[in-house]
Copies of this chain bind each other. A is one copy, B any other.
Amino acid sequence: MEKRKSIALDMDGVLANNLVHYIHYYFQETGILIKEDEVLGLPEGECLPDKGAVRRYLESPNFFRTLPVSPNAQEVVKELQEQYDIFVVSAAMEFPWSLREKRDWLAEYFPFISWQNIVFCGDKHIIKTDYLLDDHTKNLVTFSGTPLLFNTFHNVHEERFERLQDWMDVHRYFLG
């Protein structure tokens, strides 16, 4: 029997839908509702009219703990686990206050992922899995396995990597 392949899954923008959360926080603060198609192609940190807002939200307690789960992510990850070794790999070290919140978020929404398969790091190039599914090209360029770009607003103009549109597309790619 062949060795099971391993997949590293990014959190922000992949397992979690950060854009919806940014838009929600901005609406709560200003009463202005940003539409998703208004921000296509903008850098993640500057997707709101107030250029300091995203960083401010990221730094506010509870932001990471209350992120909405990406549609179908839970079901697809659970199915992937039957045939692949699944790891969550998040560059959480940049936001030390997020470490506990991210761990608790995973325990709530992905309780079927063991703590042994969770990695919080800085630079992802020291991660040795067969696949990396990430929305940020900076993580994909140095990855030694097969890089896969998870489609989101800030990477729509990126053309260097195979793009998976959403979690149903992830299902199709890995489970056919």
Using A100-B96, A100-B97 as known contacts, say yes or no to A115 and B122 having CB atoms under 8 A apart.
yes
Query: Shortest Cβ distance from A72 into chain B, in angstroms?
Result: 25
A156 at the interface (CB under 8 A from B): no
> Is there an interface contact between A104 and B96, defined as CB atoms closer than 8 Å?
yes
For chain A, what secondary structure do more than half of its interface residues adopt (helix, strand, loop), or is it mixed?
A: mixed
Residue among B93, B126, B128 making CB contact with A115, cutoff 8 Å: B93
> In the complex, which residue of chain B has the Cβ closest to the Cβ of A97?
B100
CB-CB < 8 A to A137: which residues of B? none
- In the bound complex, CA of A122 to CA of B144 (Å): 21
> In the complex, which residue of chain B has the Cβ closest to the Cβ of A92?
B120
- In the bound complex, CA of A115 to CA of B152 (Å): 26
Quickly give the copy total for this chain. 2
A127 at the interface (CB under 8 A from B): yes
> In the complex, which residue of chain B has the Cβ closest to the Cβ of A122?
B116
CB-CB < 8 A to A6: which residues of B? 126
> Is there an interface contact between B119 and A122, defined as CB atoms closer than 8 Å?
yes
- In the bound complex, CA of A128 to CA of B8 (Å): 13
Query: Shortest Cβ distance from A86 into chain B, in angstroms?
Result: 11
Within 8 A of B (CB), among A101-124: 103-104, 107, 114-123
CB-CB < 8 A to A122: which residues of B? 114-119
Give the interface of A toward B (CB within 8 A). Answer: 6, 8, 87, 92-94, 96-97, 99-100, 103-104, 107, 114-123, 126-129, 144
25 contacts between A and B (CB under 8 A): A8-B126, A87-B126, A93-B103, A93-B115, A93-B116, A93-B119, A93-B120, A94-B115, A96-B100, A96-B107, A96-B115, A99-B103, A99-B120, A115-B122, A116-B123, A117-B122, A118-B122, A119-B119, A120-B120, A121-B121, A126-B127, A126-B129, A127-B127, A128-B128, A128-B144
